[in-house]
Amino acid sequence: MIFNMFMAGRIAFGPGVSSLAGEKASALGGRRALLVTDRTMEKLGTAAKIISYIDAAGLSVVPFYDVEPEPSVETVDTATALAKSEGCDLVVGLGGGSCLDVAKAASVLLTNEGSAARYQGLGLVKNAGVPKIMIPTTAGTGSEVTFTAVLIRKSDGVKGGINGDQLYPDFSLLDPELTVTMPPSVTAATGMDALAHALEAYTSKQASPFSDMFAEEAISRIGRFLRVAVYNGSDIHARSEMMLAALYGGIALANAGVTACHALAYPLGSMFGIGHGQANALLLPYVAQFNAMALPEKFGAAAELLGGSFEEESLWDSASMCSALLHQLVADIALPSTLSELDPRITEDHFAAMAEKAMGVARPMANNPRTMNTDLCIEIYKEAM
């Protein structure tokens, strides 16, 4: 048994903890904060609330509201230029994974010269960034505990992460109250992203006893509480359990990586603009079926964690039950279950190009429990059609 483990930064969890934003910003030595968020947070009044907390601690705030759903290198450059001209010395990210990723990237761009495009890759960032605080408003991405910022380059449409230890947040405030305004479709898609992180980390070739512990807790919570969070969004208990599950999924992902599902979902985003959570939700049951026989103990255990009960079934039956339970979950929370339903523009003619792009996402493909190649990717897309 050989493994490394990593826990990022410091975390405060619980209803109302976002009110600590000012206190934490001040403790990190900030005087002028760049708040990186989007128009939804502005409209909901969540941004104004966070600004008031930071104000009250004696810091000034420069808001940036222009983060788009699939954030770009150009957006990071614009936010960084604003922060530089305003003399900001701390960054606060507020929103879903897109806002957090832009905030994390801006924090390191403030101390590393040039465009964000220069740093897409692994370990290219040299200097520590300015201190950063992350306040997620969805329960899914795990961006609050990972060292990645995924950005698309508008110039050539290529999506790539800035990956480096400097991107880990200094503090994350996980406040389930901020997630109650999420509409059901977003709750469903982001919750499935969290489940994909947990199940993929659980079945990754990099899985360890440490990552397994977090993955198991995440899978069982999502099995119990995602439907409730979707259909009874104001249930703060279900929202808290989902936020905890997303955190655990993020820790599992940060330590064990993801597998073929995230890699196969990637071209759906870059070629058709499908949201990250929705793409992963759709593919997860198919990838689970494809992988089940390569790692039956883990998939059988995951099926049990998702609420399946087995007495007489063989190991093989319980392993493939995982996929059936995932299909059931996707249907219950009203997400599309086939590629043709997801987007009628997707046809079999695209599969070769999609498979090629997916195989290019090298690390997740290498982590997959069943050895992958382009033909097998096409097989999974066909199955999902």
Where on the chain is the footprint of Fe ion (CB under 5 A)? 193
Instruction: Collect all residues with Cβ–Cβ distance below 8 Å to 374 and sequence separation of at least 6.
Output: 352, 355, 356, 359
Minimum distance, C-beta of residue 375 to Fe ion, in the bound complex (Å)? 25
- Of 64, 170, 51, nearest in space to 108 by CA: 170
Minimum distance, C-beta of residue 271 to Fe ion, in the bound complex (Å)? 17
- Of 248, 291, 274, nearest in space to 350 by CA: 274
End-to-end CA distance of the chain: 40
Minimum distance, C-beta of residue 276 to Fe ion, in the bound complex (Å)? 6
> Is 136:144 a contact under the CB 8 Å cutoff?
yes
Minimum distance, C-beta of residue 335 to Fe ion, in the bound complex (Å)? 15
Minimum distance, C-beta of residue 356 to Fe ion, in the bound complex (Å)? 21
Residue 52 CA to residue 46 CA, distance in Å, equals 10
Residue placing its CB nearer to Fe ion in the complex, 257 or 369: 257
E strand intervals along the chain: 10-13, 32-36, 60-64, 90-95, 121-122, 132-136, 148-152, 159-163, 171-174
Residue placing its CB nearer to Fe ion in the complex, 24 or 262: 262
- Of 371, 213, 373, nearest in space to 294 by CA: 371
From edge to edge, which strands make up the β-sheet containing 159-163? 121-122, 159-163, 148-152
Residue placing its CB nearer to Fe ion in the complex, 170 or 193: 193
Residue placing its CB nearer to Fe ion in the complex, 30 or 140: 140
Minimum distance, C-beta of residue 315 to Fe ion, in the bound complex (Å)? 29
Rg over alpha carbons for the chain, rounded to the nearest Å, is 20
Residue placing its CB nearer to Fe ion in the complex, 193 or 212: 193
Residue 169 CA to residue 143 CA, distance in Å, equals 9
Minimum distance, C-beta of residue 59 to Fe ion, in the bound complex (Å)? 32
Cβ-closest residue to Fe ion?
193
Minimum distance, C-beta of residue 265 to Fe ion, in the bound complex (Å)? 8
Residue placing its CB nearer to Fe ion in the complex, 144 or 193: 193
Element (H or E) spanning 194, and its range? helix 184-202
Residue placing its CB nearer to Fe ion in the complex, 65 or 272: 272
Residue placing its CB nearer to Fe ion in the complex, 193 or 216: 193
255: left (phi over 0), alpha (psi -120 to 50) or beta: alpha
- Of 210, 174, 164, nearest in space to 6 by CA: 210
From edge to edge, which strands make up the β-sheet containing 60-64? 10-13, 171-174, 132-136, 90-95, 32-36, 60-64
